[in-house]
Amino acid sequence: MKTKLYLAYGSNLNLAQMGKRCPTARVVDTLTLDGYQLLFKGPHDGAVATIKPQQGSRVPVLVWEITPEDESALDHYEGWPILYRKETITVRIGKRLTKAMVYLMNENRPLGLPSCYYYSVILEGYKTAGFDVGILRQAVSDSTEAAIG
């Protein structure tokens, strides 16, 4: 079966959630995307995660190996192609460079605050993966400050 690599930075860091949504997906690595910033976009108290290129920033990600069926489930969950688009970026896994798919939010959404539930789902993923939760907290702060003023 043909598989591909998928980079998760938001709620799909949550192992339980991904286990239900994509039962054949498996985590193959953790990485840090240098030169990207985590933000939340969407309606107030309903914003969802996205990343954008930003020099000097970094975003931790889980690298999932997914099947076409997993990708179809993710497309539905992510609102592809209306809310998110798919892009392929090159990442280093071990000593080799490889291509991986990532969902990036389409540009026409304002910055906003995530719901407490959505934030907690991502926070659990950060803690399970051993990621620096300060990056997640900073994303909320950056998104809130920009949304307010």
Enumerate domains of the chain plus CATH numbers.
4-148 (3.10.490.10)
**pLDDT for 90-120, tens place per residue?**
999 999 999 999 999 998 899 999 999 999 9
> pTM for the full model?
0.95
Is 2 buried (19+), middle (13-18) or exposed (0-12) by CB count in 10 A?
exposed
Cα–Cα dist 123/17, whole Å? 13
In this structure, are residues 101 and 87 in contact, taking their beta carbons and an 8 Å threshold? yes
The pLDDT of residue 40 is 97
Cα–Cα dist 129/65, whole Å? 16
Six-digit token pair at 9?
């930075």
**pLDDT for 19-57, tens place per residue?**
999 999 999 999 999 999 999 999 878 999 999 999 999
Cα–Cα dist 125/118, whole Å? 11
